[in-house]
Amino acid sequence: MVYLNPDIDKAWLNLNKEYKRFCKTDMRTLFEKDEKRALKYTLALDDLTLDYSKNRFDENVLKALTDLAKVCGVEQKRDEMFSGSKINSTENRAVLHTALRNRSNKPVFVDGRNVMGQINDVLAKMKKFSDDVRYGKFRGYTGKKLTNIVNIGIGGSDLGPVMVCEALKKYWLKDIHCYFISNIDGTAAAETLKDLDPETTLFIVASKTFTTIETLTNAKTCRKWLVDALGEHAVDKHFVALSTNKEKVTEFGINPENMFEFWDFVGGRYSLWSAIGLIIAIAVGFENFEKLLDGAFSMDEHFKTAPLSKNMPVMMALLGVWYNNFYGIHRYCVVPYDEYLKYLPAYLQQLDMESNGKGVDKDGRFVKYSTGPAIFGGAGTNVQHSFFQLLHQGTDVVPVDFIIPAISHNEIGEHHQILLSNVLAQGEALMLGKTVAEAAAELKRAGKSDEEIAFLKKYKAFTGNRPSNTILLKKIDPYALGQIIALYEHKVFVQGVIWNINSFDQMGVELGKQLALNILPEIQGKSFAIEHDSSTMNLIKKIKSLRK
């Protein structure tokens, strides 16, 4: 690590010394030496608990990591974010998704203007519209209640809403059904529309500029489907927009009164708290949407006020830096043990990898160290039968975040007790492992011969010493979900500060889009003038041949 600040360089060097001292220490030993380790390294906020004791650190490592956070200015940058400073340096923007859930309503200023007024106005508009749809006051063109709600977006305009709607499915109004179209693949639109009734379908088009090619292509397909069934005049009663481009929205045929605004200080992957969450409010009710905001606000306050060493997002971020930059572990896994949270890993992939997948620092220098890790995951216990083999016995160590509610929304027989026992067992197994000697003894107790034991004992052994966090909550409700999402948002922010990168732009998604616009006319047979590499040229030729 090389920074412009010598104090930061010193903190990195100190951590490198700690790594050399500590790296061969086994977590088994740490737990054996300190019977209170779990209590010391567990944090709580309301009914949310973070147990980070099953990680490779001791008190000295933790102090060195906390010192790094201090000298990197985590506290200062955190305060700048909440205050409305333009910390998105490459786009000269404030970063104020936190203002969207500012339940204290204290003023937040951008360019000398308190933005809370406009935020509250949009929330009030969302409340009225979502209530009108839910209770049948806002109806379709033929007078029928709108019960099929289709969100058309991509990226943050899709991943956040679909994740939250699925997570809170138990709270949906009984006659409301939510659908999501994001992929430009026509199959996504076709499969969604085929069983819907145009008279009862409401489309929400989510695009800040109202020019996003995937979203507008899907929106036009849905518009044609509606017009073919009900006529041009139906568009006004079956489409609303989440956008800032009034002209384009009106041109599409959407009543500008049904356009919901959001702002440049809200990045796409942080936008579910804004008008982008309209489908959430319709599905679960605005009161529950407010509880989602309340939960996030509680985590915001914790992040703002808790000391670094007692701060949930900070601790998770620092452990990630520890593994990424010292152990050379450039991946981690998120496994929620709750079917309602099955889309959370995909949501966190965008949040983390789009934020911190950067190769140039805030001083304009190419970085020479690892930044954002690769993330994967899925719902337990399903994934225990897919990639957990690698987690337990693979040559690559993968830190895991386990997320589990103590109480299920569906307490059927012994299902949830079995689920709970599985998640606790996985964390214990990853940490403890099983030595070759222990495996041999186990095989002997099972009545295996000496020859069988000699052959099988290494296959039955687990190296252990594999780190995990356990995030325990009482139940998956709107408040708790808000806390979890904000926890990960702030974790990502802290890591970006430490890596000295801008976590709030996403220029890496642009090049492919630009090249796609060049290739499209060639696929359509409208242009042949643009030169590409030989592979791309040959593939275009093959595609056109196959499509004849």
pLDDT, one tens digit per residue, over 398-453 is 999 999 999 999 999 999 999 999 999 999 999 999 999 999 999 999 999 999 99
Band of residue 548 on the pLDDT scale cut at 50, 70, 90:
confident
CA distance 132 to 127: 8
In the chain, the largest separation of any two C-alpha atoms, in whole Å, equals 82
H or E element that contains 204: strand 201-206
pLDDT, one tens digit per residue, over 30-61 is 999 999 999 999 999 999 999 999 999 999 99
Q: What integer best gives the mean pLDDT of the chain?
A: 96
Tokens of 237: 């009663």
- Report the pLDDT value the prediction gives residue 295, as an integer from 0 to 100: 98
Query: In percent, how much of the chain has pLDDT > 70?
Result: 99
pLDDT, one tens digit per residue, over 316-341 is 999 999 999 999 999 999 999 999 99
Residues 44/355, Cβ–Cβ less than 8 Å: no
- Report the pLDDT value the prediction gives residue 6, as an integer from 0 to 100: 81
pLDDT, one tens digit per residue, over 496-506 is 999 999 999 99
Averaged pLDDT, 353-371: 95
Domains and CATH numbers, the chain: 6-71+306-432+467-505 (3.40.50.10490), 109-289 (3.40.50.10490), 510-547 (1.10.1390)
Q: Which residue in the block uniquely carries the two structure tokens 């019977």?
A: 35
CA distance 240 to 151: 10
The two beta strands, 48-51 and 468-473, are antiparallel
Q: Which residue in the block uniquely carries the two structure tokens 């996030």?
A: 296
Q: Please check the confidence at residue 3 and state whether its pLDDT lies above 60.
A: no
Averaged pLDDT, 369-373: 96
Q: Please check the confidence at residue 528 and state whether its pLDDT lies above 90.
A: no
Tokens of 518: 């060049």
Active site residues: 354, 385, 513
Minimal CA–CA distance to 319: which of 14, 13, 66, 11? 66
Q: How many CB atoms lie within 10 A of CB 219?
A: 26
Q: Mind giving me the DSSP string for 444-494?
A: HHTT--HHHHHHHTTTT-B-----EEEEEES---HHHHHHHHHHHHHHHHH
- Report the pLDDT value the prediction gives residue 1, as an integer from 0 to 100: 55
Averaged pLDDT, 169-198: 97
- Report the pLDDT value the prediction gives residue 213, as an integer from 0 to 100: 93
Specify the pTM: 0.96
- Report the pLDDT value the prediction gives residue 529, as an integer from 0 to 100: 59
Band of residue 527 on the pLDDT scale cut at 50, 70, 90:
confident
